[in-house]
Amino acid sequence: MADLAVMLVKVVAAFGALLLLAAYMTWAERRVFALVQVRYGPNRVGPAGLLQPIADGIKLMFKESVIPAQADKLIFVLAPLVSLVPAMAAFAVIPFGSSVTLFGRQVDLIVADVNVGVLYIFALSGIGVYGIVLGAWASNSKYPLLGGLRSAAQLISYELSLGMSLLGVVLIAGSLSLKDIVAAQAHYPFILLQPLGFLLFLVCMLAETNRSPFDLPEAESELTGGFHTEYSSMHFAMYFLAEYCSMITLSAVAATFFLGGWRGPLLPPVVWFLVKVVAFMFFFMWVRATTPRLRYDQLMGFGWKVLLPLAILNVVATAGVMAFLG
């Protein structure tokens, strides 16, 4: 019973924090954008514009949800959920701190220590694609459909390299559990052993979350809004949240695999974890503010001809060195 209560508290706290962070990342993104463009960004609602996400949320909630007459209504409504739920659920296996003692109980700061955590994350991010494709198809409109098709092709191509780029770390740590991977980085972060893997992961995670320069599924200059063209109100907000949640989750994965997760000197583990995640989020925004969108053939060519061979090379080299060292 007590275990269940602890579990519930952890789930609520982790997902509450995730949602809050995702909401505030929309604010942060606009501020970072403005920073690069020599503007201020939202700074009117509350101090430094900090209440902006809440104002946006209220606005979206009170907007009318328009469902196109020709749309497949059930799938149209469910698709954003299919995107959002896996994006949030993937966060469950990420350790966001060391264990703490609460009311005389040892509590690990991880929602679920799955022994195949890496696979779990990839499985869920694979499901996330369905949300986009289903939503795109159910809209019964050409722009979303094109966006959805691109999304499917892009995610399939880049998920391979994404998984491969993490395999090196898995080989070194000898475990698929994220908790063990953090434990294996007690002395030094794996970025030192896997610089290529880190770089590959960085690129793939941009593509995996449909972020610039790989934001072809929602390329607004050619596809209006891409897969979410027909969406409005909270259905749209769910897609938006899903994008930010998966960004946060992948940032957390990057921090966990390459930067030692919650490990760090002086500051408490949870703070270190947050610092690393936010740093990756800043990277996402920084890149988006800098790069133009890739052309579709460049995207595919880069994914299959550059990233994948490099990722495979990285895995083979790592495995070779591991075997050599015994």
Partner 1 sequence: MLAEIARGLWLTLKHSWRSRVTVQYPDEREEMPKGYRGLHKLLRWEDGLERCVGCKLCSAACPVDCIFVESAENDPARPTSKGERYASVYEINELRCIFCGYCEEACPVGAIVLGNEYEFCQDHRDKFLYAKRDLLVRRTEDYPELKARYDEKRLLTYV
Residues that bind partner 1 (CB under 8 A): 32, 35-40, 286-287, 289-291
Q: How far is the CB of 289 from partner 1 (least distance, A)?
A: 6
Q: How far is the CB of 29 from partner 1 (least distance, A)?
A: 14
Least Å distance, CB 271 to partner 1, is 24
**Residue 312: what residue type?**
I
158-192 in b/e form (b: 16+ CB < 10 A) is bbbbbbbbbbbbbbbbebbbbbbbbebbeeebbbe
- Shorter beta-carbon distance to partner 1: residue 154 or 256: 154
Report the distance separating Cα 108 and Cα 266, nearest Å: 20
80 contacts 227 by C-beta, under 8 angstroms: no
Closest CA to 181 of 267, 268, 113: 113
Residue type, 97: G
Q: Which is nearer to partner 1, 45 or 123 (CB)?
A: 45
Looking at beta carbons only, is 271 or 306 nearer to partner 1?
Answer: 306
Nearest distance in Å: CB 104, partner 1: 48
Least distance in Å: CB of 307 to partner 1? 12
Q: Distance of CA 136 to CAs 108, 239, 242, Å?
A: 39, 12, 15
Closest to partner 1 by CB, 43 vs 232, is 43
Q: Which is nearer to partner 1, 63 or 288 (CB)?
A: 288
Burial class (CB in 10 A: 0-12, 13-18, 19+), 112: middle
Please identify, using beta-carbon distances, which residue of 268 and 301 lies nearer to partner 1. Answer: 301
Q: How far is the CB of 75 from partner 1 (least distance, A)?
A: 38
Q: Are 170 and 151 in contact (CB under 8 A)?
A: no
